[in-house]
Amino acid sequence: MGQETLMDIRIEPLAIPASLDAPDAADFLAMVRIGNEAWRRASGTDLHDDEAAEMLVRWRETPYRVTHGAVARVDGEIVGAVRVEFDKTTRDSAEIDVTLVEEHETGAASDALMAEIDRIARAHGRTILQSWTIHRPDPVEDRLVPPTGVGWIPSQDAATRRMLAAGYRLGQVERNSVFELAGSYDATDRLLDEALATAGPDYRTAWWAGPTPPEYADGYAAAIARMYSDPPTGDMASEQAAWDAARVFERDERFAEAGTLIGVTLVIHTPSGRVAAFNELTIGPDRTRPTSQWGTLVMPEHRGHRLGSIVKCVGLKRWHEHVPQSPRVSTFNAEENRYMLDVNEKVGFVPASYAGAWEKRLS
C-alpha cells in the first residue's frame, strides 16, 4: 500500500477518435488492447477479442445508444479503462465494463475507475448499473453462487473481488459454450430433421447475411425487442428498449461501416406471418476469427414446436457455408435456461468459460 499511495493516478475521459490512424487514437487503441488481454487472462481463450475497427464504430453515438469512457493513467501510462453505455430508449439502466492490466486489477487505480463509473452514470441519470465478468471453468473450492442457485464463479478471482468491493451483487451466471464450425454436422442434421418434422407445415425458415431484407424488418425488430423481456435474467433488472424497422436499418448501416457481418435465421409462423423465433451470428472484419452468437429466442406463444433447434441448426449450417474461414461459434446462455442449454448440447456446443452478471443500484 505504501508504494501505491506514491503513484500518480489520473482518471481522464476517453476520446473517441475520428479514425484509428488519427493523432488522438492511441488511448482508444490502448483500451482495446488492455480489454482483450484482460479477457484472455480471465477466460483462458481468445474467443472474446474485440477488433478496434468494430469498437470504434460501436462507441460512436447513435440515435439509440451513447457510450462514455474513461482511462486510468499511472505515472502517465494507461493501465485501465471503463465503458458506460446506455440505450436512449430506456430510463434507468446502463451497461458498464472495466478492464485493467494485470498488476492493477485491484488497488487504487481499479478503485478510481469504479468510482468514475458511478460518477458518469449519475451525471446522466442512470441508477441501475449492470456488468459481466468472465471466468475459467476450472473447478475451485471458493465459489460464489447467484440467487438463482444455479451455476457459480470463483469467489477469489480479481474481477469478482473488484465487483464486490465496489458494491455490485452477483445476479446470474451464464455459460459460455463453443461449437466447432469445421467439425461434424451429423448431430446438427439429425436434430434439424426431427425439429422440422415436429414443427410441421405452419412454420417456415428465412435466412440472410448482411443487410436486413425490408420485408422482414418489422418482424425482426419486434423479435429483438422481446430479448429485453423474455429470456431469464436471474436476479437482474430488465428494462424494455424500443426497436423498430428504422433502428434495424440504422444498425445495418453501422455494421457495414465497421465491416461486421451478421447472419440472421428466422422462423415464420405462416398462418399469422409473424416471427416465431430468431437467431443471430456475427463476425468482425477478420473472418478467420471466432463467430459470436447474439440473440436467440423463441416467442413464448410458439414454444413446444422445437423452433429453437431449427434456428440454431439452420443458422450454423448456413453460416459455415457463408463464412467458411471462421473456426467456431461462441455463445452465452443463463445457467438456469435449461431449455436452450439442452438444445446447445444436442447440437454439439461444449462449455468454454462462465460469466458472472453483476448489478449495482445507485441511490
Asked whether the predicted pLDDT for residue 5 surpasses 90, the reply is no
pLDDT, tens digit, for every residue of 48-67? 999 999 999 999 999 999 99
pLDDT given at position 229? 82
**Edge to edge, what strands does the sheet with 261-269 contain?**
9-13, 65-74, 77-87, 93-100, 128-135, 350-361, 169-180, 328-334, 291-298, 274-283, 261-269, 203-209
Q: Torsion angle, CA of 135/136/137/142, rounded to 10 degrees?
A: -70
pLDDT, mean of residues 89-113: 97
Buried b (16+ CB within 10 A) or exposed e, 160-183: bebbeebebebbbbbbbbbbebee
Upper half-sphere CA count for residue 210 (Cβ side, 13 Å): 3
- 229 or 92, which is more confident? 92
Q: Which residues contact 246 (CB under 8 A, 6 or more apart)?
A: none
Joined together, the cell numbers standing for residue 245 give 424497422
pLDDT, tens digit, for every residue of 205-223? 999 999 999 999 999 999 9
d(CA 143, CA 65): 35
Radius of gyration of the chain (CA): 21
Joined together, the cell numbers standing for residue 351 give 462449455
pLDDT, tens digit, for every residue of 35-44? 999 999 999 9
pLDDT given at position 2? 41
Domains in the chain, ordered, with CATH? 2-126 (3.40.630.30), 179-351 (3.40.630.30)
| 106-115, 225-234, 295-304, 352-361: least confidently modelled range | 225-234
Looking at every residue in the chain, the average pLDDT score rounds to: 95
Joined together, the cell numbers standing for residue 222 give 419486434
Q: Which one-letter DSSP state was computed for residue 300?
A: G
Count of H-run helices and E-run strands, the chain: 10, 14
- Using CB atoms within 10 A of its CB, is residue 11 exposed (0-12), middle (13-18) or buried (19+)? middle
pLDDT, mean of residues 165-187: 96
d(CA 50, CA 98): 14
CA–CA distance from 131 to each of 70, 159, 170 (Å)?
Answer: 16, 11, 10
Q: How big, in percent rounded to 5, are the helix, strand and coil portions of the chain?
A: 35, 30, 35
Q: Which residues contact 363 (CB under 8 A, 6 or more apart)?
A: 127
CA–CA distance from 84 to each of 72, 97, 219, 226, 247 (Å)?
Answer: 15, 7, 30, 23, 21
Q: Which residues contact 332 (CB under 8 A, 6 or more apart)?
A: 174, 175, 176, 177, 293, 355
Q: Amino acid letter at 125? A: G
d(CA 271, CA 258): 38
d(CA 177, CA 180): 10
pLDDT, tens digit, for every residue of 102-141? 999 999 999 999 999 999 999 999 999 999 999 999 999 9
Buried b (16+ CB within 10 A) or exposed e, 299-334: beebeebbbbbbbbbbbbbbbbebbeebebbbbbbb
What does pTM read for this prediction? 0.94
Joined together, the cell numbers standing for residue 87 give 440505450
